[in-house]
A and B are shown apart, each in its own frame.
Chain A
Amino acid sequence: MTEIAHVYKDAGLTEIFDDATDTLATAAINGGSGTGVFYVGTPTTGNKIEDATNPGIDQIVVSVTDATPGSDVETTHIKLALSEAGLSSATGGASLNLGTVINHGSPVSVWYQWDNSTGNGTYSDISLGLTSRVESAA
């Protein structure tokens, strides 16, 4: 099991995402869309999360990665937004800025949407990347 720090399956930040057992899953019939959400934050009181390269300056970013470009699902089929409503205006394949600082108590919701134009099946070639982070006292 490899827990991904700061990534949680629930808004209460109690169920940490484990890339060995968890997936960011959704379903969509061919021609349809499916959505899902996860949360980025720290459950440690008084702490904050920042980008590791330029803390407090650079954005913490979620990006879309395709392990098999040209086949199966493409990055452009995935939209990211900070709210469910924001998905409608999001651009497929575009990265999502989560902010320069994420403080305890204010986790960020990351919504994703798969617009299925690939067809029926189960696909796992897409993953979402999260930039390196540092956590420190706020």
Chain B
Amino acid sequence: MAFVDEILADSPYRYYRLGDATTTAVDDGSDGTDGTHVGGVTLGQAGLVGDDNDSVRYDGSTGYTSIPKLGTTNFDMGSHDATFMVVFTAPALEGNGTLRALFGDYDSTGTPTGTRVFIEEFSNQLTLYVQTAFTFSDQANYRTAAGVITAGESYILHFVWDTSAKSWEAYLDGVALTWALATPGTFFPSVSLGDPLYLGAVYDPGDERYYKGIIDEFALWKSKLTTTRIAAHADAIVTGPDMGAASLQMALSGFISHDQASLPMQLSAQTAYPAASLPMLLESPAATHYQASVSTWAPLVVLDGTDITSNITGTIRIQQEETASALCNLQLIPASGSIDPEDYERKPLEVSFVGKSGGSTLYTRRRFTGITTNASYNPDTGVLSIKGTTDLQGRFENLSRDMIDAIVGGQWSTHIFEDSADGWQYAKDRLSTQAAEMHVDEYGHMRVIPWAAKTSPDVTLTDAGRFNNSLSLTRVNRRELITDFTVNLDFRFVRLRHREIGVYLPDAYGFCHYLNNGWALPPRSAVASAADSTAWTRIGDITFIPLPGPGTYCVPARGWNGEADDFCLGASWKAARRWAQTVTEEYSLTVTAPDLSETIGVQALSEDYGIEATYDATDYENDSSFADVPEGASLSVETNDYQLEATDVEEDGRAAMEAAQEVVLAKVKAEMLGRARRNRLNVSPVYDPTITLASTVRVNTPYLVAKGKVFGIVETWNTQTGALDMDLTLALSRHGGSGVAVDSPLDAADQPAQATEEATDRVYVMGYHIGGLTTVPDNDEWDGWVTNAAAAVHVPGGEIYRTRMVVNMPEIEEAARDATVLQQPASYTLAIPEDELTMSN
């Protein structure tokens, strides 16, 4: 049933639908007494109940609808039930205490008599407020809880008088409301007994409380409607505009058009290679042969795949040494025919020695695998001399750094070594961070061998004498030794800083000083302009201290009508400043070898390195568009600022610097260990084909016992005598001290602590120069809100300040801006190995 039909079904006494085209408010009720639209009313507004009947908008200041009085007995609340129904749109929030009347009659010749129904703003929310009165001293008040009504929403209100209970009941949208305040009176006046009833206001001359909003449908019954009927009224409203947002799914069938296509083909040719078999040569020298007092040997020389052993003459000399190419010199008599030495150059060369017994081969032992470099022919002797090398350097020259990393190992940093180094230098740089050497072994394999002598020697050489007087020991010159190696490493970088300050223009005087003295309030626009006119960047919005709403304030009481949103009593915001500071961390890393200094005293050496993390902070310092702390920055307890280290490239950053520290520390360690093993023991034992540069050899004689890694080997085969000789050089690491030193981890030093800066305020509170003084001259150094315009009006000729809002943000102190230097020493202990060495006579 349509709304109007539901209402008419209950036979209202009066029924004003308010869809009037003229100022006559037509009564569709049984009484048929029309009313009149008066003042600021706008007819023809869209209705609120879902039909085509219009409604009336009341302007809140002069508009109302006057309804003729209801009469003496019709609405006598002392003996009659009654129901009022009104459909309305709730007014907007305007300030606590605002009363907007839906309808009412409250005056009879100046005495409060009657009933008035309001929408009241209470606790910043809307509520229904009803007041009935018989006299000044007998007023009844009813109020629902705040928030029952929402500004701008439409409702249907039934207002029911139950005369037996002598109380008002209210139904909003058909649902009974509970009174939060209910103070019934003693007597119960009639509604609109002798006065008209105003709709959209109260008939109370001078205190009409005009409604501000739309009212549609106003009906009166001289009876109490049942809750069922009240609900039926509410249910009959069709709330078209408030149906809420809807999501309408769309089914769209798309057709995508594609052009004719060309499909490229990539045909990759493959080259097939069959499975391969790689022959192995496994050699095992027989100790019973090579340790015999007399051993028989024969050379086996293969040049470019051809066995040229029968052409060999003179000597074959193979010389090997740590971290160097092995060299092989040999002579041969070429086969008859033309001779071109170049035919013998850049050819693979393999030299083995064959253990013989009675003409039989016991085993072979490769001793050199390399390439010939130079051949020279002596036409006088008919001998061709050939030089071969394992070409250690050449093998690294063209290797990728990845391969070198895999072969050599060690550590590397662009801050310690030359980035543009070739493969050989790069390999040596990596090797220099290890206590190790590298060489090409007898089979042509590249080897990296630790310097440290093995606990159990690979070979022990014994002799009752002095190895035919071949024993000799050369001690390292003490001036070559290092006991204290200091690395001075400066790390320079840019520290981005971000300082935040709370800025306050406090409410220093309070609202009443302004109100009572007529002082000029700070305009919000002036505050905002001043806040944004400094070198600092405002972060977030300005929080203004607002002026109070309309009302009576201060002592003596003064009226205040509000409406001063452009001004404030104070304000606050957060401001930030960014700048860059150059920081240099000076690391002093000292590696000491106490066992060595115990013996030789302190012999110090130092090296200097510098790492600069470049960063152009211009954009950082000039940017004022930020709204937060820099990403990754953290608040420093030393400076109370947000900080962040900056670098253009990671290779220059802290992690790279710390890695460089560890690289240089490893390099220092290797340097110190390398110098400590420059003691050389030379011995010429009976030829032992198992000894290589990777071997640890112990020499045991009555006069000397020593153990060390092989540093160099010279092997000589004499064709004429058939003798195969060997000269060994062992490297012996020695310190001569008590040997109590223990290696400390060579980790990067801790980052030096940042100096605590002198504390400065992170709060800036502005002042006021405001009020009645006109005898104090204006001062350009004043900050905050400056005005004495109001006083100047009353003191002609006085000093009139230039009204202004001044924000003087503090400067960043020099200590925070200037380059700073932080020092960080660190010490490390190195244990020098003590290789076995005892001597006697």
What is the interface of chain A, defined by CB distance below 8 A to chain B? 1, 4-7, 9-12, 14-15, 17-30, 34-38, 52, 55, 65, 73, 78, 83, 105-107, 109, 112, 114, 116, 118-124, 126-137
Taking CB atoms, residues of chain B closer than 8 Å to A137 are 268-269
- Contact across chains for A127 and B443 when beta carbons are under 8 A apart: no
Question: With A27-B283, A136-B268 in contact, do A9 and B444 touch (Cβ < 8 Å)?
Answer: yes
Contacts of A22 in B (CB 8 A): 279
B259-286 vs A, CB cutoff 8 Å, 1 = contact: the mask equals 0000000001111111111111111111
Which A residues are CB-close (under 8 A) to B279? 19, 22-24, 124, 127
| Chain A residues positioned under 8 Å from B284 (CB to CB) | 27-30, 116, 118-123
In the complex, what residues of A have CB within 8 A of residue B407's CB?
11
List the interface of chain B (C-beta within 8 A of A): 268-289, 302, 304-305, 348, 361-366, 395, 398-400, 402-403, 406-407, 442-446, 689-690
* Chain A contacts for B443, CB-based, 8 A: 25-27, 36
Cβ B275 vs Cβ A131 within 8 A: yes
Chain A residues near B406 (CB-CB < 8 A): 11, 83, 109
Cβ contacts A to B, 19 pairs, < 8 Å: A7-B276, A7-B278, A11-B406, A11-B446, A15-B348, A18-B305, A23-B281, A37-B445, A52-B273, A116-B282, A122-B361, A123-B282, A126-B280, A129-B275, A130-B276, A132-B272, A134-B270, A136-B269, A136-B271
> Which of A9, A25, A109, A124 has its CB near the most chain B CB atoms (within 10 A)?
A25
A49's closest neighbor in chain B, by CB?
A: B273
Q: Are A28's CB and B282's CB within 8 A?
A: yes
Asked if A129 contacts B277 (CB within 8 A), the reply is yes
- Give the total number of A-B pairs whose CB atoms are below 8 A apart: 167
Among B275, B278, B304, residue most surrounded by chain A Cβ atoms (within 10 Å): B278
Name the distance in Å between A123's Cβ and chain B's nearest Cβ.
4
Task: Provide the bound-state CA to CA distance between A9 and B348, in Å.
Answer: 12
> Cβ of B270 and Cβ of A19 under 8 Å apart?
no
Minimum CB distance partner of A64 in chain B: B280
**Which of A26, A55, A112, A124: most chain B CB closer than 10 A?**
A26
Given A1-B305, A131-B275, the answer on whether A120 and B282 have CB atoms closer than 8 Å is: no
| A12 near B403: Cβ-Cβ < 8 Å | yes
In the complex, chain B residues whose CB is within 8 Å of the CB of A21: 302, 304-305, 348
Kindly state the separation between the CA atoms of A118 and B269 in the bound complex, as whole angstroms: 46
A105 to chain B, nearest CB (A): 6
Give the contacting residue for B273; candidates A6, A10, A14; CB below 8 A: A6
By a CB distance below 8 angstroms, the chain A residues around B689 are 27
CB distance B268 to A27 under 8 Å?
no
Whole-angstrom distance between the Cβ of B594 and the nearest chain A Cβ: 33
In the complex, what residues of B have CB within 8 A of residue A122's CB? Answer: 281-284, 361, 363-364
Write the chain B residue with the least CB distance to A137: B268
Q: Which of B270, B283, B285, B398 contacts A26 (CB 8 A)?
A: B283
Majority SS of interface residues in chain B?
mixed
The CA-CA distance from A52 to B269 in the complex, in Å, is 13
- Asked if residues B398 and A25 are in contact (CB atoms below 8 Å), the reply is no
Residues of B within 8 A of A23 (CB): 279-281
A36–B273 contact, CB under 8 A?
Answer: no
A121-B286 in contact given A23-B281, A36-B443 (Cβ < 8 Å) = yes
Asked if B395 and A73 make an inter-chain contact with CB atoms under 8 angstroms apart, the answer reads no
Q: Is the beta-carbon distance between B280 and A124 smaller than 8 angstroms?
A: yes
> Please, which residues of chain B bring their CB within 8 A of the CB of A55?
270
CB distance from B689 to the nearest CB of A (A): 8
User: A29 — nearest CB in chain B belongs to which residue?
Assistant: B690
Do A27 and B365 contact each other (CB < 8 Å), given the known contacts A37-B445, A126-B280, A126-B282?
A: yes
A10 and B281 in contact (CB under 8 A), knowing A21-B302, A107-B403, A136-B271?
A: no
Please report the C-alpha to C-alpha distance between residue A28 and residue B694 in the assembled complex, in whole angstroms: 13
Please measure, in the bound complex, the distance between the C-alpha atom of A28 and the C-alpha atom of B399, giving whole angstroms: 29
* A-side contacts of B282, CB under 8 Å: 25-28, 34, 73, 114, 116, 122-124, 126
Contact yes or no, B399 A129, CB < 8 A: no
**Chain B residue contacts of A1, Cβ below 8 A:** 305
* Complex: A78 Cα to B278 Cα, angstroms: 13
- Tell me, in angstroms, the Cα distance from A122 to B348 when the chains sit together: 21
Assess whether A134 is in contact with B273, with CB atoms less than 8 Å apart: yes
In the complex, the answer to whether A128 meets B285 with C-beta atoms within 8 Å is: no
User: A residues within 8 A CB of B364?
Assistant: 122
Check B286 against A19 for contact (C-beta < 8 Å): no
CB distance from A87 to the nearest CB of B (A): 13
Evaluate whether A19 and B272 lie within 8 angstroms (CB atoms) in the complex, with A10-B395, A11-B446 already known.
no
Nearest Cβ in chain A — how far from B273, in angstroms? Answer: 4
* Given A12-B399, A18-B305, A27-B284, CB of A4 within 8 Å of CB of B272: no
Q: Which chain A residue has the least Cβ–Cβ distance from B443?
A: A25
Q: Top 4 A-B pairs ranked by shortest CB distance?
A: A120-B286, A21-B305, A23-B281, A25-B281
Expressed in whole angstroms, the Cα–Cα distance for A134 and B268 within the complex equals 11
Identify which of A19, A22, A129 gathers the most chain B CB atoms within 10 Å of its CB.
Answer: A22
Tell me the complex Cα distance, A119–B110, Å.
135
Chain A residues positioned under 8 Å from B276 (CB to CB): 4-5, 7, 19, 129-130
- Decide: A24 near B278, CB < 8 A? Known: A12-B398, A134-B270, A137-B268: yes
> Which listed residue, A9, A27, A73, A78, touches B366 by the CB 8 Å rule?
A27
Distance (Å) between the CB of A43 and the closest chain B CB? 10
A105 touches B400 (CB 8 A): yes
Q: Could you say which residues of chain A place their CB within 8 Å of the CB of B446?
A: 10-11, 37
A6 to B365, CA, bound (A): 27
B403 touches A25 (CB 8 A): no
Closest to A39 in B: B403
Given the complex, which residues of A lie within 8 Å of B286, measured CB to CB?
30, 120-121
A126 to B274, CA, bound (A): 19
A119 CA to B288 CA in the complex, in Å?
12
Identity of the chain A residue whose Cβ is nearest the Cβ of B266 in the assembled complex: A137
User: Shortest CB–CB separation between residue B301 and chain A, in angstroms?
Assistant: 13
User: Which of A15, A20, A24, A35 meets B281, CB within 8 Å?
Assistant: A24
Q: Which has the most chain A C-beta neighbours within 10 Å: B279, B302, B363, B400?
A: B279
Let me know if A132 and B270 touch, CB within 8 A: no
Distance in Å: Cβ of A126 to nearest Cβ of chain B: 5
Chain A residue contacts of B398, Cβ below 8 A: 12, 14
Partner pick for A11 among B281, B348, B365, B399, CB 8 A cutoff: B399
Which residue of B304, B362, B445 contacts A120 across the interface (Cβ within 8 Å)? B362
Q: Which of A7, A29, A52, A78 contacts B285 (CB 8 A)?
A: A29
Given A19-B279, A127-B277: 8 more A-B contacts, CB < 8 Å:
A11-B446, A120-B362, A123-B280, A124-B279, A126-B282, A132-B274, A134-B271, A136-B270
Chain A residues in 8 Å Cβ range of B403: 11-12, 107
Complex Cα gap A20–B277 (Å): 11
Of B276, B305, B398, most buried by chain A (CB within 10 Å of CB) is: B276
Q: Residue on B with the closest CB to A5?
A: B273
CA distance A52 to B274 in the complex (A): 8
Residues of B within 8 A of A130 (CB): 275-278
Q: How far is the CA of A92 from the CA of B38 in the complex (A)?
A: 112
- Chain B residue nearest to A2 in the complex (CB): B276
Shortest Cβ distance from A125 into chain B, in angstroms? 8
Q: How far is the CA of A123 from the CA of B284 in the complex (A)?
A: 8
For A136, what are the chain B residues with a Cβ–Cβ distance below 8 Å?
268-271
| Distance in angstroms between the alpha carbons of A137 and B284 in the assembled complex | 43
